[in-house]
Structure 1
Amino acid sequence: MAFDECMLRWHSQGKIPPTLRFYGWSKPTLSIGYFQRAKTINFQAVEKYACEFVRRLTGGSAVLHDDELTYSLVIDEHDPSIPKSVTKAYYILSQGVLEGYKNLNVPCEFAIPERELDKERSAICFEKPSFYEMVVDGKKISGNAQTRKQGVLMQHGSIPVSLDNNMLFDLFAFSSEKSRQRRKEQFAQKATSIKEVTGKSYTYEQMKVAFKKGFETGLDIHLSPLKLSEEQWKEVQELAHTKYETDMWNYYTTKERETIATAN
């Protein structure tokens, strides 16, 4: 998460060009959205599964990152190719995700048809969650989020190869086991993964190749490697240590942190 934020900062400062990053996870990690309250998390289960826990810079709900490819990209929000509408910008940038799935023979599509994007709607209606979903047979297959800061649009997303629903639902606090089981069964009807759809599993390298080609095709771009300086790597590590590894950032929302600061 520190790396993603540094990418946003560097692009704003003109230190790196528009950049696409792929990464994976050494341990299962639960990330929660910028505005999400941590009290919904079962931290005993987080410890039981030896999970990492982190708050994202972007909004949305909690995501369990495990057997997946994760991507992040940064681009000037005033770039001629980037619409001002959040939903339309998402649609443009996610063409790369769509093409990546095609490379794996996964027949996914946007939950909201392209024709709907051209209709005049209020900003609130445009930002309904269903506009942000990529689905297969009506089931969500990837999670994505955006933020715009310092003149830069950052979008990152989770592309799961497989889902561990048992672990996922153990990581949340429920009023009863019956409620947990009911929600888990409902989730299974609403979400899917590449392995469930295709019956195949893929390595991180195979996923990276498929989605790198997907972004090049979907966005009509050519990607070339970006090498970071030693100073930039140190900046990532420093931000991770001072922000994303801290309890104050991870366990409390901005409002909660402000309340704590006032009380002190």
Structure 2
Amino acid sequence: MTDLADRSWRLIRDEPRDGPTQMALEEIAAETALEDDLRTVRVYSWEPSTLSLGYRQDADTVDWTYCEQEGIDVTRRQTGGGGIYHDRYADISYTIVAPADEVPGNLMDCYELFCEPVLAGLRDMGIDADFAAVEQSAIYHPSCYLRDINPAHDVVAPASAGENAQKISGNAQYRQRDVVIQHGSISYDLEAERHVGVFETDLEPETFTDRVTSIHDQTGLDREDAVDTLTTALGEWCDADDGDWRDDELEAAGDLAERKFGADAWIRNRDVLEASEP
């Protein structure tokens, strides 16, 4: 349990939502942390399937035709890095939101703190997971899972394999309005064809499976059990109470999703539409 456990936290096991709404909810959780002294941890999934672009990623790296044909939405994250394909089954995502003055100011120390429950959850599933022991060079930079593997925030398994360990989780964080938001993607299973298909490249699916592993590959654990285990680890880490989004938060997230995370101006060029006048 972290020292942050003496604060007020809520644990949300979120329902599947579209990508723009999932990203908007993180910013709304940041406001709640500051204004209502309530921090958030949550586990969630994506529906429909979504490609989330890194903050500075060039939109020209996306195979827009493939995404349209396969019914894959595209949004853009606030965090950097490469794009990630998410869906309701193969991906398990999480978010941690807390005021910046309560967590380490050093980025690496903050990663170490916020990844504690992720590592605990994977280990509770019986997976030999840890931060990458060594850096690995990039295979394809626009893809998060095929970028260089960084020991600071990339989680691999089995950790005992050293430089041969494969990536199982990517994690990223950003600071906004004096709040730290960390989110991450954990591979429950591998959808290699879609992970490479969403990009404007001729990469073979084997390129992905050679670099990435999954909970299913490591343990064969049922997805629902994997979600339960991760959710429990997050909740125990900060001693969170079970909670949910308030109606006003969902309404605000819907507005933000429409004018930012779901808007072509943001997805293509990082331009944010102004809120409409009342």
TM bin (shorter chain): 0.7 to 0.9
Provide the rounded CA distance (Å) in 1 between the counterparts of 2:221 and 2:250.
35
- Which residue number in structure 2 is paired with residue 163 of structure 1? 190
- Which residue number in structure 2 is paired with residue 260 of structure 1? none
Question: Aligned ranges for residues 186-205 of structure 1 at < 5 Å?
Answer: 186-203=207-224
Question: Aligned ranges for residues 175-186 of structure 1 at < 5 Å?
Answer: 177=202, 180-181=203-204, 184-186=205-207
Q: 1:75 aligns with which of 98, 106, 111?
A: 98
- 1:214 corresponds to 2:233: yes
- Which residue number in structure 2 is paired with residue 2 of structure 1? 24
Q: 1:49 aligns with which of 59, 70, 75?
A: 70
Provide the rounded CA distance (Å) in 1 between the counterparts of 2:97 and 2:220.
33
Provide the rounded CA distance (Å) in 2 between the counterparts of 1:39 and 1:93.
32
Mark the runs of 5 or more structure 2 residues left unpaired by the alignment: 1-22, 135-148, 159-164, 273-278
- 1:65 corresponds to 2:86: yes
Does the Cα contact within 8 Å between 1:112 and 1:131 map onto a contact in 2? no
What is the DSSP-based 3-state SS (H/G/I as helix, E as strand, rest coil) of the residue aligned with 2:29? helix
- The change in CA–CA distance for 1:200 and 1:216 in structure 2 (over 3 A counts) is closer
- 1:86 corresponds to 2:107: yes
Provide the rounded CA distance (Å) in 2 between the counterparts of 1:216 and 1:234.
25
Question: Aligned ranges for residues 30-45 of structure 1 at < 5 Å?
Answer: 30-45=51-66
Larger radius of gyration: 1
- Count of residue pairs brought into register by the alignment: 228
- Which residue number in structure 2 is paired with residue 124 of structure 1? none
Cα distance, 1:229 vs structure 2: 3.0
Determine what percentage of the aligned residue pairs are the same residue: 27
- The change in CA–CA distance for 1:168 and 1:227 in structure 2 (over 3 A counts) is closer
Counterpart residue identity of residue 72, structure 1: T
Provide the rounded CA distance (Å) in 1 between the counterparts of 2:24 and 2:118.
23
Runs of 4+ that moved beyond 4 A: none
- 1:247 corresponds to 2:264: yes
Mark the runs of 5 or more structure 1 residues left unpaired by the alignment: 114-127, 258-264
Q: 1:232 aligns with which of 217, 224, 249?
A: 249
- Which residue number in structure 1 is paired with residue 13 of structure 2? none
Cα distance, 1:68 vs structure 2: 2.1
Counterpart residue identity of residue 232, structure 2: K
Cα shift readout 1:25-61 (whole Å, capped 9, x = no counterpart):
1222110111111100000110111111100111111
Which TM-score applies when normalising by structure 1?
Answer: 0.80
Does the Cα contact within 8 Å between 2:196 and 2:208 map onto a contact in 1? no
- Which residue number in structure 2 is paired with residue 101 of structure 1? 122
Cα shift readout 1:107-135 (whole Å, capped 9, x = no counterpart):
1111149xxxxxxxxxxxxxx83321111
Q: 1:29 aligns with which of 37, 40, 50?
A: 50
Counterpart residue identity of residue 32, structure 2: W
- The change in CA–CA distance for 1:236 and 1:101 in structure 2 (over 3 A counts) is same
Which TM-score applies when normalising by structure 2?
Answer: 0.77
Provide the rounded CA distance (Å) in 2 between the counterparts of 1:211 and 1:6.
23
Cα shift readout 1:154-183 (whole Å, capped 9, x = no counterpart):
000111210111111111112xx4xx22xx
- Which residue number in structure 1 is paired with residue 170 of structure 2? 143
Counterpart residue identity of residue 266, structure 2: W
Greater mean alpha carbon deviation, residues 184-193 or residues 135-144: 184-193
What is the DSSP-based 3-state SS (H/G/I as helix, E as strand, rest coil) of the residue aligned with 1:173? coil
